[in-house]
Amino acid sequence: MSLGGKARAKFLCDAERCIECNACVTACKNENEVPWGINRRRVVTINDGKPGERSISVACMHCSDAPCMAVCPVDCFYQTDDGIVLHSKDLCIGCGYCFYACPFGAPQFPQAGNFGSRGKMDKCTFCAGGPEEDNSQAEFQKYGSNRIAEGKLPACAEQCATKALWPVTVMTWQRFIANALSLVASVQEPGAGELPTRRKAANSLTDRRGSPRLSVLLT
Amino acid sequence: MNLKIIGAGLIALLTFAVTPAYSEDEKQRASTGGAQTLDDILARQKGLEVDESFRRDNLGSSDNAQPASSSLGTLGGFSSSDIYRGIRYAESDIKVSNNSHASEILVQDGGMSWLLTREGNVRAFAGYGIGGIIIALAAFYFTRGRMTIEGGPSGQTIERFKSFERFGHWCLAGSFIMLACTGLLLLFGRSVIIPIFGHEANAAIANFSIWVHNNIAWVFMASLVAIFVMWVAHNIPSKLDLVWFAKGGGIIGNGHPSARKFNGGQKLIFWMTIVLGTSVSMSGLSLLFPFEMPMFAKTFAMINTVLPAMGLPTELLPHEEMQLAHLWHAIVATTMIIAIVAHIYIGSVGMEGAFDAMGDGQVDLEWARQHHDLWVEEEQAKGAPIGQAGDVR
């Protein structure tokens, strides 16, 4: 199963909700049996220990026009109908160019040998496996779980305790924004909207200072 | 009185003359509260360079914070927009839960221009440059022919390069040719090999290439040092070289300009190999040990002190260091390949008797007298033995 090719898969992370618990990193590593020494996902903390500290969980952003796909000297990347960027470890030569091209530092390389030679690149697959047959043993060994084929969401986002990390399609996100905007519009009408409703509407789009949320900006 | 009016008028004129553009810009900026103006957006749409300092430097301040006792005090004066700009321009104070130092950079956008330069200018330089020199040399060969020994070989020989010199040369030459070929395979694999032989073949070739490139590089670096130690004394530039270059190495006018062990052209090749070889080795080392040996920020700072007009960036992200190292490595290596193709031509098919110098080390005495007259005199004064062509050594 896929998302039907009608939408593009994206990760969104709400920095107002992320509590830097690193459960997404652990869940990903466990679900996909990520090679020793590397993690497909990382939690970035901004202004750590200071007022206004925020955290955000980052992995592959599954770019629409992905630089890694463009630069790869062996052309090992491909994009599914759902916009998930995947790659073939059979072709990958571990040159590391995708890491230099990636704006978000997503590709990871297990140490393979001497003189900086790296093993096959490993990165977030949106829990959608790789080119092998869905949920085959070969696919699991190389790329980890294919939860998308099972009709499930990526493991990191599914277990996020504060619901900071969302695996959404752009369509879902647009619908969410539209709903929130209509909610904001409705509470502006005189007499409408109790305080909780108004707060809910405002919280969904903006932070407590009234500026747009990081998740809105990163979309 | 009049003077005062004139003075005031002058001051007013000067004020208007100096500030209009500035104040206009400031006024526009103020009208959007310090954010983008219509001019910025239009300029960006036209693909013009936009000074983004108004965004890059507008990162919020803890001075804006509410007192800690108030309800918003804990947010510390930074809005999410401020933080986003900090991330976007890599100015934030960032800590990561795992992975490398480079993963502290949340957004870097140098990758796009890097990969476009790689598949644009660098491939064009390598393709047209190396293709061009081969065509030029072929044209030279077919119009001027092979440079022969005037009067034919004498049959007597003299030792030009000792065995350890030839060993050093061929280690350098062999490793360079392997590095050049594998480097070009990596650069052109996707655009040339994939369309013809397919993805699997290219991946197999590239996998082999990268292994050879990473390991043979050490032979290149070691023999580069050996070459330098062996030959630097013979390659100090002298007045003789200017005469040699003025005569175009013998192409212009009649007769061969005099030379000692190495002539002007050979000294040029020697110093090209040493300088560019060192540069390609340094950038290669920083590619072999990713993110461990950043050297461009420091180099740029040094260049800036000599040539402040260059205004090169001295603060580079780890990724940008790697991108620059990669581009520089490819450009310098291509320059070397172009020069070495010419060197290979002149040392093989281009000149009668030249290959023997690096072949068995024994060159024809007549060839040596024509090309390295002063060296032959020195050697004979030292009592160098004269052999016969065809001797088994």
Please give, rounded to a whole number of angstroms, the shortest distance from the CA of A207 to a CA of chain B. 7
Nearest CB to B97; choose among A43, A95, A116: A43
pLDDT tens per residue, range B156-207? 888 899 899 999 999 999 999 999 999 999 999 999 999 999 999 999 999 9
Provide the 3-class DSSP secondary structure of residue A120.
Answer: coil
**If you measure CA to CA, which chain B residue comes closest to A67?**
B112
| A213 chain-B contacts, CB cut-off 8 A | 80
Work out the pLDDT band at B290, boundaries 50, 70, 90.
confident
Mutate to test the interface with A, among B80, B100, B104, B324 (most CBs of A within 10 A): B80
Tens digits of residue pLDDT in A76-93:
999 988 889 999 999 999
Element (H, E) at A67: helix A67-71
Q: Do B87 and A46 touch (CB under 8 A)?
A: yes
- HEC profile for B165-234? HHHHHHHHHHHHHHHHHHHHHHHHHHHHHHHHHCHHHHHHHHHHHHHHHHHHHHHHHHHHHHHHHHHHHH
Contact A93 B114 (CB under 8 A): no
Residue A142, CA distances (Å) to A28, A87, A130, A189 in order: 14, 10, 8, 55
Q: From CA A149, how far away is CA A6, in angstroms rounded?
A: 16
Q: How far is B95 from chain A (nearest CA, A)?
A: 5
Whether the Cβ atoms of residue B100 and residue A37 lie closer than 8 Å to each other: no
Query: Are A47 and B83 inside 8 Å of each other by CB?
Result: yes
Every domain of chain B and the residues it spans: 110-161+236-388
CA distance A117 to B30: 52
Q: Which two tokens stand for residue B79?
A: 């809005």
Is the CB of B202 less than 8 angstroms away from the CB of A75?
A: yes
- Interface mutation target, options A41, A74, A99, chain B, most CBs of B under 10 Å: A74
Helix (H) and strand (E) counts for chain A?
Answer: 8, 6
Domain region containing A211: 168-218
Q: Residue B34 phi/psi, 5° resolution?
A: 90, 0
Residue B23 confidence (pLDDT) above 70: no
- Asked if residues B174 and B167 have their Cβ atoms less than 8 Å apart, the reply is no
Q: Provide the sign of the torsion angle of the four alpha carbons A33, A37, A42, A43, taken in this order.
A: positive
**Residue A110 above 80 pLDDT?**
yes
Q: Judge: A54–B112 Cβ closer than 8 Å, yes or no.
A: no
Q: Is the pLDDT of residue A1 over 70?
A: no
Q: Is A211 on the interface with B (CB under 8 A)?
A: yes
Chain A residues 37-96 with a CB less than 8 Å from chain B: 38-39, 42-48, 50-54, 56, 58, 67, 70-76, 90-96
Which of A67, A103, A211 is nearest residue B80 as measured by Cβ atoms?
A211
Collapsing DSSP to helix, strand or coil, A202 comes out as helix
Considering only CA atoms, which of A171, A216, A132, A188 is closest in space to residue A6?
Answer: A171
Is ipTM strictly over 0.85?
no
Q: Rounded CA gap, A14 and A216, in Å?
A: 8
Within 8 A of B68 by CB-CB distance, chain A residues are: 51
Domain count, chain A: 1
Average pLDDT over residues A129-137: 91
Least confident of A45-49, B49-53, B317-321: B49-53
Residue among B55, B82, B83 with most chain A CBs within 10 A, to mutate:
B83
Closest CA to A123 of A71, A58, A170, A168: A58
- Among B81, B207, B319, beta carbon nearest to A93: B207
Token representation of residue A188? 């502006």
The answer to whether the CB atoms of A104 and B107 lie below 8 A apart is yes
> If you ran DSSP here, which 8-state letter would residue A43 be given?
E
Does pLDDT of A173 surpass 70?
Answer: no
| pLDDT at residue number A218 | 42
Task: Tabulate helix, strand, coil % of chain B (nearest 5).
Answer: 70, 5, 30
The H-or-E segment that residue A50 falls in is none
- A24 near B CB under 8 A: no
Instruction: Collect contacts of B254-262 with beta carbons under 8 A, ≥24 apart.
Output: B256/B370, B256/B371, B256/B373, B258/B373, B258/B374, B259/B371, B259/B372, B259/B373, B259/B374, B259/B375, B260/B234, B260/B372, B260/B374, B260/B375, B260/B378, B261/B234, B261/B372, B261/B375, B262/B231, B262/B234, B262/B235, B262/B372
- A150 to chain B nearest CA, in Å? 29
Q: Which CATH class is domain B110-161+236-388?
A: mainly alpha
d(CA A58, CA A68): 16
**Chain B environment of A47 (Cβ under 8 Å):** 76, 78, 83, 92-93
How far A197 CA sits from the closest chain B CA (Å)? 20
Residues A52, B62: C-beta atoms closer than 8 Å: yes
Look at residue A181 and tell me if it is in a domain: yes
With 0-12 / 13-18 / 19 or more C-beta atoms within 10 angstroms meaning exposed / middle / buried, residue B101 is: exposed
At A118, the pLDDT band (50, 70, 90 cuts) reads: confident
The per-residue pLDDT for range A178-205, each reduced to its tens digit, is 666 666 666 555 554 455 555 555 555 5
Taking CA atoms, A40 is separated from A137, B375, B376, in Å, by: 20, 64, 66
What's the pLDDT score for residue B80? 76
Q: What is the DSSP letter of A206?
A: B
Name the least confident of A71-80, A156-165, B59-68.
Answer: B59-68
Q: Does A212 touch chain B (CB under 8 A)?
A: yes
Q: How far apart are CA A13 and CA A175, in angstroms?
A: 17
Selecting from A46, A70, A116 the residue whose C-beta is nearest the C-beta of B290 gives A116
Q: Is the pLDDT of residue B1 over 80?
A: no
| Average model confidence (pLDDT) across chain A | 80
Q: Does the predicted TM-score (pTM) go above 0.80?
A: yes
Residue among A45, A75, A100 whose CB faces B326 most closely: A100
The DSSP secondary-structure symbol of B67 reads P
Could you give the CA distance from residue B120 to residue B324 in angstroms, rounded to a whole number? 15
Q: How many CA atoms lie within 13 A of B112 on its CB side?
A: 8
Residue B226 pLDDT greater than 80, yes or no: yes
Q: Is A4 on the interface with B (CB under 8 A)?
A: no
Q: How far is CA B114 from the centre of its chain?
A: 14
In a domain, A198, yes or no: yes
Task: Let me know if residue A154 belongs to a domain.
Answer: no
Select from A58, A90, A96 the Cβ nearest to the Cβ of B106.
A58
Is B318:B105 a contact under the CB 8 Å cutoff? Answer: yes
Q: How many contacts, defined by CB atoms under 8 Å, are there between A and B?
A: 178
Cβ <8 Å between A103 and B288: no
Distance from CA of A143 to the nearest CA of B (A): 19
Average pLDDT, chain B: 86
In a domain, A5, yes or no: no
